Amino acid sequence: MKKTKNTPNLNRRNFLAGTASVAGLAATASIVPITIANANHKEGSKGLPDFISWKNRDALIVHSDKGIETHRSAIGEGLVTPNANVYIRNNMPTMSDAQIGDRNNWKVSIEGVNNPKSFTLAELKAMGTTTMATVLQCSGNGRGFFEHKPRGSQWKTGAAACVMWTGIPVKTLVDACGGITSGTTFMTSAGIDHEPTGLDPMKAMIERSVPKEVYKDAILAWDMNGVPLPNSHGGPLRMITPGYFGINNVKHLGKVSFTSEESQVKYMKSSYRISPIGKKGSQYPSCWEMPVKSWITRPTDETGTVKAGKVQIVGVAMGGTRKVRSVKVSVDGGKSWKKAKFVGPDLGKFAWRQFVFETTLSAGTYNIASLASNGRDKQPELRMENRRGYAHNGWKDHSVNITVV
C-alpha cells in the first residue's frame, strides 16, 4: 500500500492487516451456533441496555452501555460470530427505528467523484451485491492488559468478531459515478448518528478518512450474518473497510467522499491516535490497519480445570491486511513452540482462521500461548505501550493459564 502522511514505517509495530471478499456463502456451513458453559453470568449481574436486549447475555461482559465485550469462549466455537454474541462499541447513541425511518429510503451520497450522486438503500440493492467475511475489532481490544490502565473499556480479547457482510462494493458505486476525481488521497466516510443528539458535528460526527486505495476492497453493507444490519451495529447501512479497525467501519453511513485531506472532526484529527503514554496529538498514527494477531479460545480460565491426557487447544488468528499463514502454540509460556493446524473453511484474507493444536498434558499448571504469522509479520511477545491502549497484539498478555488434574 502506498504510504501517506499517516502511514509511518513502524516495523513490527505497523498496523498492516488483511481482509478479502468471499464470492458467496459457500462456507456458511461453518456458522455454528455455540453454547456457553460457565460464562460467569451470575444472578443479579448487570443486564443489557434496551437497545441490545435481543443479545445473548451469557456471552457478554458489560463494561458500560457503550462497551460490551464477548467472552473468549463465545467467539471461537463457530468460525463466524453469531450476531447475538458480537461485541458493542458505540461513540454515539444507536439510532432508533423512528430516527432511521423507512430503511429502503435511507440515503447515502457519493462525493469526490466525477458525477456525484445520492443513492437510496433500495437503489443500492438493485445495483449489485457481494458477500465478504471480515474481522471486526475495536482499536482498544486488549486494553485491559496495559498496566497503566488507559481510559476506556478494559477489553481483553472480546472486542472482536468475525462477520459475514452483504452489500455493494464501493468500487461499483465509484464506477457508476464516473470514477474518482484527481488529486484525492483519502476515502472519507461519515455517519449521521450524531444528528439526533444536536451536538457540534466537529466534536460528535463519526467521520473517518483512510487511504484511498481501501475503496477497492470496501463495501457498503446492509446485511450482517444473513439478516438486515441491526441498528446497534450501524443499520441500515455501514461502511466496511476490510482489515481496518472498527472505528473506520462507520455506522449509520450517510456520506462517502474522496478527499485530498483527512477529516478534521475530533474522531479523526485527535481521537484514535496511537501516541506515547502521556502524549497526544494529530501527529501520531491513526488507528488504521490491524496487526497480525491470535489468541486461545479453549481452554481458558472460564473452562475451569482440564482433565489430564489428550487436550485440544483451540483459537482464532488473523493476518492483518495479509492472509494469516501459520500459527504456533506453546504450552510452556513461550519457551517452545509447535505448529497448529487450521480447521474449517478459508473465508478470505480479511476473515480470521480457526486453529487447533492437540497435545497430551499431565497434571500441573500450564501457560498456553499462540503466535500467528502472515508470512511477513508475526506477533511480538510484548504489547506496544501507548497512551490509550490501542492495537495490542502481543502474545504474552493474550496467553491463558490452565490447571490440569
Task: Write out the DSSP string of 86-155.
Answer: --EE-SSPPPPHHHH--GGG-EEEEESBSS-EEEEHHHHHHH--EEEEEEEE-TTTTGGG-TT--SS---
Domains and CATH numbers, the chain: 11-269 (3.90.420.10), 293-404 (2.60.40.650)
The CA radius of gyration of the chain, in Å to the nearest whole number, is 21
| Per-residue CA distances from 327 to 128, 324, 339, 340, 354 (Å) | 36, 8, 6, 6, 10
**CA 66 – CA 399 distance, rounded (Å):** 26
23 vs 308: which has the higher pLDDT: 308
Per-residue pLDDT tens digits for 216-245? 999 999 999 999 999 999 999 999 999 999
- Looking at residue 363, its pLDDT comes to 97
DSSP state of 289: B
- Looking at residue 45, its pLDDT comes to 43
58 vs 16: which has the higher pLDDT: 58
225: closest CA among 136, 105, 292, 298?
136
Per-residue pLDDT tens digits for 163-194? 999 999 999 999 999 999 999 999 999 999 99
DSSP state of 57: G
Quick check: 364 and 404 in contact, CB under 8 A?
A: yes
Per-residue pLDDT tens digits for 70-109? 999 898 678 999 999 999 999 999 999 999 999 999 999 9
Asked if the peptide bond before residue 8 counts as cis, ω within 30 degrees of 0, the response is no
Question: What single letter denotes the amino acid at residue 319?
Answer: G
Q: Under 8 Å CB-to-CB from 191, ≥6 apart: which residues?
A: 92, 205, 206, 207, 234, 250, 251, 252, 253, 254
Three cell numbers written together for 119: 443513492
**CA 269 – CA 257 distance, rounded (Å):** 17
What's the mean per-residue pLDDT of the chain? 89
Q: What three-state secondary structure class fits 379?
A: coil
- The confidence band for 21, taking pLDDT boundaries of 50, 70 and 90, is very low
Residue keyed to cell 481510559: 151
**CA 392 – CA 292 distance, rounded (Å):** 10
**CA 41 – CA 57 distance, rounded (Å):** 8
Per-residue pLDDT tens digits for 358-395? 999 999 999 999 999 999 999 999 999 999 999 999 99
- Looking at residue 46, its pLDDT comes to 66
Whether residue 2 is predicted with pLDDT greater than 70 in this model: the reply is no
Element (H, E) at 404: strand 400-404
Q: How many helices (H) and strands (E) does the chain have?
A: 5, 22
- Looking at residue 302, its pLDDT comes to 77
- The confidence band for 17, taking pLDDT boundaries of 50, 70 and 90, is very low
Per-residue pLDDT tens digits for 24-57? 333 332 222 222 222 333 333 468 999 999 999 9
Three cell numbers written together for 362: 499431565
- The confidence band for 304, taking pLDDT boundaries of 50, 70 and 90, is confident
Please report, rounded to a whole number, the percentage of residues in the chain having pLDDT higher than 70: 88
- Looking at residue 296, its pLDDT comes to 96
66 burial level (CB within 10 Å; 0-12, 13-18, 19+): middle
Q: Where are the beta strands (DSSP E) in 149-204?
A: 160-169, 186-191
